[in-house]
Amino acid sequence: MAKQQKTSAELEDMVHQKLLIGGVYVSVREDPLLGWRATVITAPKHAKAIQERAATAAAELRKKFTLKT
């Protein structure tokens, strides 16, 4: 089954919904190795933990969706 193409805005929203945290900005960019990567911007105190959660969410979503360029 082919993966669905999604825009960066759609993927950002999907990752953000999986995080279930307010006050976090998610950015999705093309990645040559993975296809696309999610990066979070938040308070420095929580950045590492939230980035790890975003990476996990992105890995799950990459199984179903590719970044539309």
What distance in Å separates the CA atoms of residue 10 and residue 67, rounded to the nearest whole number? Answer: 9
Find the helix or strand (DSSP H, E) in which 9 lies. helix 8-19
pTM: 0.92
Is 1 a residue whose pLDDT tops 80? no
Bridge partners, residue 40, by sequence: 26
pLDDT tens-digit profile of 6-57? 999 999 999 999 999 889 999 999 999 999 999 999 999 989 999 999 999 9
8: left (phi over 0), alpha (psi -120 to 50) or beta: alpha
69 falls in which pLDDT band (50, 70, 90)?
Answer: confident
